[in-house]
Amino acid sequence: MTDLPASKVDLKSVISAPSRVDNSEGMSYLQSVPRRLVTLYLPLTIIVVVLLFPFYWMALTSVKPDEQLLDLDKYNPFWTWNPTFKHFHKLLFESYYPHWLWNTMYVAICATVLSIVASVFAAYAIVRLRYKGANLVGGLIFLAYLVPPSILFIPLATVVYQYGLFDSPLALILTYPTILIPFSTWLLMGYFKTIPFELEECALIDGASRWQILVKIVVPLAIPGLISAFIFCFTLCWNEFIYALTFLQSTSNKTVPVAIVNEFVDGDIYRWGSLMAGALAGSLPLVILYAFFVEHYVSAMTGAVKE
């Protein structure tokens, strides 16, 4: 029935099976080492190097002295032996950078907290209260997720202007939740669905109100989901560009991405060092946050797609 090589292999695996730990290499013993080198490690190395090279380049540029940046013939551009913190010094003490960093953080945290609170209520109502039309509202929220900021920024600019919020961080704090609420509601709905109904029934019988159930049972059980949603929303806020570019005007009010593009890009030929230092300093907080919560981050990303 089966052809010869396959059955041989099968036999081998059956024999060695009991001695193998469960999460062993699976079927990969079918491949020889040289073959794995060419089909797996080589392409993987190339892709990872390409993916990470811009960050290496960013970091290297930010510590290179100016003359080495522009003289590619005398110095090897891929390394430097005399790193300098001049660019960072310029960034921290001769520009508004700390201010911008603070603005970004402030806006991101406020908008994230607002959205998560709103989303917890909305997700709980849609999944567990099941009021009339809950499914329809769930669908509409999913659609809201698909409305991109690039088609909203023009009318939103007029709205923001009418409400007198122009050039104020409040404009961003109030508009970012439109991006965050659909996403985090959708994510939290998935988490709330996994909490057993019986827990809530018990609490209802013991006389708990819906509010008590939400605060004392559902939210504590959904903490991993909340962390995921929080981190992902925070990253989205930090990354947001077009609203911040449109709604903010004065230099000191800007967020990091907008400020770097608008304030650091000037005619100076020696701008690269401080530009890259600014980009690096603006990315590091997110990368550090990500390093601590990789699992939550990935589950947020895949959870939103899966649901």
Partner 1 sequence: MADVAIPRAKPQMSEASAWTQLKYNRNWLGFWFMVPAMAFLIFFLAYPLGLGIWLSFTDTRIGRVGQFIATENYEWLWDDSIFWLSVFNTLLYTFVASAFKFAIGLYLALLLNEHMPFKAMLRAMVLIPFIVPTVLSALAFWWIFDSQFSIISWSLKQLGLISQNINFLGDTTWARICVIFANVWRGVPFVAITLLAGLQTVSPSLYEAATLDGATRWQNFRYITYPLLTPIIAVVMTFSVLFTFTDFQLIWAMTRGGPVNATHLMATLSYQRAIIAGQLGEGAAISSAMIPFLLAAIMVSWFGLQRRKWQQGESND
Residues 251-280 that bind partner 1 (CB under 8 A): 256-258, 260-261, 272, 275-276, 279-280
Residue 24 or 194 with smaller CB distance to partner 1: 24
Applying CB under 8 A, does 166 fall inside the site for partner 1? no
Residue 147 binds partner 1 (CB under 8 A): yes
Do the Cβ atoms of 80 and 63 come closer than 8 Å?
A: yes
Residues 60-89 touching partner 1, rule: CB under 8 A, are 61, 69-70, 72, 77-78
Window 214 to 233, contacts with partner 1 (CB under 8 A): none
Give the chain's radius of gyration (CA, Å): 26
Give yes or no for residue 199 binding partner 1 (CB under 8 A).
no
Decide: helix, strand or coil at residue 44. Answer: helix
Segment near partner 1 (CB under 8 A); pick from 84-92, 95-103, 219-227, 234-242? 234-242
- Shortest approach of partner 1 to residue 227 CB, angstroms? 16
* 137 is a contact residue toward partner 1 (CB under 8 A): yes
Instruction: Using CB atoms within 10 Å of the CB of residue 13, give its burial: 0 to 12 exposed, 13 to 18 middle, 19+ buried.
Output: middle
In angstroms, what is the minimal distance from the CB of 175 to partner 1?
5
Nearest to 6 by CA among 32, 33, 30: 30
> How far is residue 277's CA from residue 162's CA, in Å, rounded to a whole number?
37
Q: Is 287 in the site for partner 1 (CB under 8 A)?
A: yes
Q: Is 141 a residue that touches partner 1 (CB under 8 A)? A: yes
Instruction: For residues 72 and 91, give the distance between their C-alpha atoms in angstroms, rounded to a whole number.
Output: 25
The verdict on 202 binding partner 1 (CB under 8 A) reads no
Buried (b) or exposed (e) across 143-159, using 16+ Cβ within 10 A?
eebeeebeebbeebbee
Query: Could you say which of 18, 34, 155, 220 contacts partner 1 (CB under 8 A)?
Result: 155
From candidates 92, 105, 113, 144, binder to partner 1 by CB under 8 A: 144
Q: What does the block give as tokens for 57?
A: 């380049």
How many Å apart are CA 58 and CA 238, to the nearest integer? 19
CA distance 133 to 139: 10
The binding track of 26-55 with respect to partner 1, each residue x by CB under 8 A or -, is xxx-x---------xx-xx--xx-xxx-xx
Per CB under 8 A, contacts with partner 1 among 84-113 are none
Q: Are 286 and 235 in contact (CB under 8 A)?
A: yes
Distance separating alpha carbons of residues 191 and 229, to the nearest angstrom? 11
Size of the site for partner 1 (CB under 8 A): 109
Q: How wide is the angle at C-alpha 24 spanned by C-alphas 23 and 29, nearest 5°?
A: 150
CB of 253 to partner 1, least distance (A): 17
Site track 11-30 with partner 1 (rule: CB under 8 A), x = hit: -------------xxxxx-x
Question: Which residue carries 């970012």 as its tokens?
Answer: 176
Pair 189, 138: CB distance under 8 Å: yes
Chosen residue from 8, 20, 89, 130 binding partner 1 by CB under 8 A = 130
The binder of partner 1 chosen from 86, 90, 99, 210 (CB under 8 A): 210
